[in-house]
Each structure stands twice: as structure tokens, then as C-alpha cells.
Chains A and B, each alone.
Chain A
Amino acid sequence: MDAAVRVTDLVKRYPGRPVNAVDGISFTVERGEVFGLLGPNGAGKTTTIGVLTTRVLPTSGAASVAGVDVAADPVTARSRLSVVPQRPNLDRALTARQNLVFHAAYHGVGRAERNRRADALLEQLGLGGRGGDKVDDYSGGMAQRLLIARALMHAPQVVFLDEPSTGLDPQARLFVWDRIRELRAGGVTVVLTTHDMDEAAALADRVGIMDHGRLLALDTPAALTRSLPGSATLDIDLERAPEDTDEAVLDALAPLAERVEQVADSSGLRARLYLSGDAAALVGPVSEALGARGARLTGVRIGEPSLEDVFLNLTGRELR
């Protein structure tokens, strides 16, 4: 069976621009997978999604969605994919329910079936009873849910979500996340772009990190964080022996970690150890080393690396 999304050596250069917006990326998304595309603004995510959703013409390379080449046969591709845009683009001349029904009509869904689906989806997305409202009267969260409902009206095989929870309140965000999980459970492939690392970690089976048009890393969130050197931390509070000095204690801990720093904002002595391995396993050795100098461990806190650390490590800290 074909992959849900297959991108091969994709390049997009906009006329008059000195660099490629997308610079030779390749990746595959399996059916039923939730795939997250991460990257700073201008990294090439939106252009990549634009190509996959037939709105941007590739300069070279190939891209297919649900087994259909998007450049060669955009019409068939459009019948198998759908898009939830970041900014609501609902038809404001229509009611919420009419937005759903007309969308399905564009896609050739029969009258009885599209009415049935519209009612079912409105109900499932918590909009039952609000179907007759003008979409102008919808809040941001309701509009987002309606966009998701609209995207599902023609039963697509691949759904593209652009920044699905930007600007939503926490309740709406969790609601949207749950719906995305339901889609995966139903075998729909989901490709989402985000720069919300929590969102990517919570939803995506695999994550691709893009910058400057290139794919810098591609793996499961867990594997990506494991691969990051020196980002696990162990914070320790300690009481040293009166005759000892802070510096000497920290020096004694140095061989155990990649780097040791004194944390300034503390009344007692607090240190942060940066390491690559499992932070918890280091508690014993640290305690022993301190005991040998007559110092006492009074507090421990373990910091796991997050996807955000991976992201910043790969894409840098400068503002875009």
C-alpha cells in the first residue's frame, strides 16, 4: 500500500528570491500516522504544506498524497486530502451548517449523505444546535472546530492542519487535540505544522524539524530528545562542610557530568549538572561524592530535555 504522503527531493524557489524556500527535502508519512512538521517562521513548512495541498507548484522533485502526484493530478489529489488552515477562511455568506454542506457538494457528496454528515460532525465537534448561526457569530475556538468539521465532510484520507491550536484557550486546545487523536484512531493520516512544542510532543508519532528549507531531523519525539547531548539536568541542593568551599565542592562533582554550574538565585549552595544520560542514575554517585567531602545532599530535581530543547539546539536562538 502506498504511503499517505511521499516527498522526494522537493525544491521550491519563488521567482526573484535568492534562496530556495524548500531546499531538497524528502520524507514519508505512513497511513494512519500523525506527523508533525516543526520549524521557526520562514523555515519552509508552509511552502511544503502548500505543495502537498496543490496550492504551490514545486520547482523540482516529487510529492504525492494518498498515492496521487499532486503536481501531475491536483484535481484527484484534492478529493483525497483536506486542509484546516491557520486563519479561518469560512464562507461568511453561509451559516455554519451550510459551510459544511456546500463543501461536501463541491466534492460530489450526495444530498442526503452530506446532510447526514453535517449533522453528525456538528454534534461531534460540540456545535450541535449552533449549525444555523452565521459564522461571523462564532468565537475563534468554534470557528476552528467548524474548520475541522468542514475538512472531514468529504472523508479525506489525509488531513493537513496548519497551526491547529494557535490562539485557542486551553479547553479548546485539548478538545482539538482529542479530535486529532480520534482521527488517527480512525485511520486518517494527519500532517500538522506547529511551533508549539507541547503540541508536537503530545500528538505527533513522528516529528520533522525544518529550517532554511531543509529537514534537519526526523524521528519520534522521544528519540529526538534522547539524541540531544547535555540537555538532561540534575539540580541539587547541598550543605557543605564548614571548612570546605563552594568551588571545591563543584570541582569534585565536575567529573560526573558534562558541565556543572552554580545556580545563583539560592540561599544555600545549589548546583546544576548537565548530562546526556539518565539523570536519575546520577543521584547515587553524586550523593557518594558529596558524602566523601562531608557535604550533605538536601534536595534533588531532575530535568528531562524537551522537544523545545531539541528544536532550539537545531535551529538556534536568533529571532526570525
Chain B
Amino acid sequence: MSTDTVAPGLVVQAGAAAAGRPDVGRAFRALLWRDVFVTGRELVPFLLQVVLQPVFLLFVFGKVLVELGFATDQYADVLLPGVIALTAFLTALQNTAFPLVIDFSFTKEIEDRLLAPLPTALVAVEKVVFALLRALIAAAVMFPISWWVLGTLPVEWGDLPVLAAFLVLGSLVGAVMGMTLGTFVKPNRINIVFAVVLTPLLFTGSTQFPWQSLDTLRWFQVVCALNPLTYVSEALRAEMAPEVPHLPPWLCALALTGFLALFGVTSLIGFRRRALD
């Protein structure tokens, strides 16, 4: 069988598609490269988009309130790990949720990628991996910014492996939660859902307070325990500010793994539902 299937007028020939099975790994890398390529050109807008909110959080609560004497120096130690966790988690979540709603419901731009020669689930996985990359960049940028805003950075090189591990885990959970939202929520409801979901996530993630000190506010402690972000914040706090009360890292790892499994499954179901009829 000839593989030169394009017409003489529309000459393209040569080599053409191989008759065997396509290279799935290559297709996956090409999808990822497309996303990295597009983001690379818009790095500054991307960073402004993701770090502005945490920078202001850090500045007002960690610097201004401390200067004014409404909070102690110690509060910055509580806040910084939480804000870094928040940055990674929400960046990942928003980077799967919003683009998927727009892609599936309006522009349909994702169709060309759904027709690429790789399993549909891998198109979803690529979105998660890309959201993870963006989240890690956003989190990494937060470190020098924190140093600049607060004047100190309670991190040593030795902390990096554990911090990185929890940032990866936390970002993955954020990405699959975002994909679940982006694929299950009706497009005309997305604004409401984000308002209803994002704000509580922001304030029940133990980013601005240590979870264990919520003993006196039991119901709120329970609510916070249901937010995966709590475990990212607590794990980072354990590493960056060990003197602040915190959950044991193994427990955080376990909880995050559980959330990852749960929302990993729902995100794939949701993605498949939107991608295939």
C-alpha cells in the first residue's frame, strides 16, 4: 500500500504516516511542548496572573500587620508556607479548570489534540502535567519574592527535596480537582461555581493559620480538614517552620495521596465524558 496519499496538486508526500502503530510517547511530548511553547511566550503575563494575589497576601498580613503591631513577627513564619502552598495549589487548579471549560464548550480548540494519535486519557494527563509545571514555576517564584517582601526566607537547601515533593503532590491534587470542576460543571454556571468554590478553598486551606490551633473552633477545624490545601500548607509548615504546631508530614502525604486518587478518577471520568460521546 502506498503511503503517499496526498494528491499531486496538494503535494506533500514522502515518508508519510507509517502503516504501523503510532508513537504515543511522541504525541504526548508534542502536546506538552505545544503548551510549554505557548506559555513561554507569555511568561510575564502568566507570572503576574499567578503571583500577584499571594504577594499581596504576604505583604499585608506578613508585613503591614506586623509593622502596625497587630501581628507578631512569628506570624510571618505561619503565613509564608501557607501562601506558597496556596500559590501552587490554586495555580494548578485554575490551569486545568478554566482552559478546559473554554476549550470544550466554546473554542473547541482541544479537538485537534483529541484527534492526535494517543489515548484520550493521556490528553487529560498532559493537561495535568502541564498544570503541575505552571504551579511549580509559580511556587518557585514565590521564594525570592518572599525574601524581598519579608526580608527573610526560612528555607535551607536541605529542605528542598521535601518541599518539592509536597509541592508536586499538592499541585497534582489541585490540577485533578480543577479538571473535575472544569469537566463536570455546566459552562454557563462556571462563574458561579468558581466563586462558590475558590473563595472557601482559599480560606479553609490552613494557609493563614496552623490547623492544630483550631481546637477551640471545632467545626471550622473539621471543614478545613476536608480541604486538600490544608495538608499542603501543613506539610510545608512542618519543613519551613517546625516550631509552629503542624500535622505530621506522613499524614499529609497520606491525605494528599488519597485526594489524588479520588479526584484523579473523577477528573478522568469527567474528561472522557466531555471528549467522547
Contact = CB atoms under 8 A, between A and B. Distances in A.
B188 interface: no
B146 to A, nearest CB: 31
Contact of A182 (B7, B13, B117): B7
A105 B30 contact: yes
Nearest to B4: A155
Contacts of B108: 85, 87, 89
A313 interface: no
A130 interface: no
Nearest to B24: A75
B109 interface: yes
A106 B116 contact: yes
Contacts of B34: 91, 94, 102, 105-106
A55 interface: yes
B27 A155 contact: no
Interface residues of B, number: 44
B19 to A, nearest CB: 9
B189 interface: no
Contacts of A90: 109, 112
Contacts, number: 139
B109 A155 contact: no
Interface in B70-118: 107-109, 111-118
Report the interface size class on chain A. 35 or more
Interface in A61-100: 74-76, 78-80, 82-83, 85, 87, 89-94
A1 B19 CA distance: 14
A166 to B, nearest CB: 16
Contact of B17 (A121, A124, A156): A156
Nearest to B272: A57
A76 B23 CA distance: 9
Contacts of B68: none
B32 to A, nearest CB: 11
Interface of A: 1, 14, 47, 50, 53-57, 74-76, 78-80, 82-83, 85, 87, 89-94, 102-103, 105-110, 113, 117, 120-121, 124-125, 150, 152-157, 179, 182-188
Closest 10 CB pairs of A and B: A186-B7, A182-B9, A106-B116, A155-B16, A105-B30, A89-B108, A79-B117, A79-B22, A182-B7, A56-B277
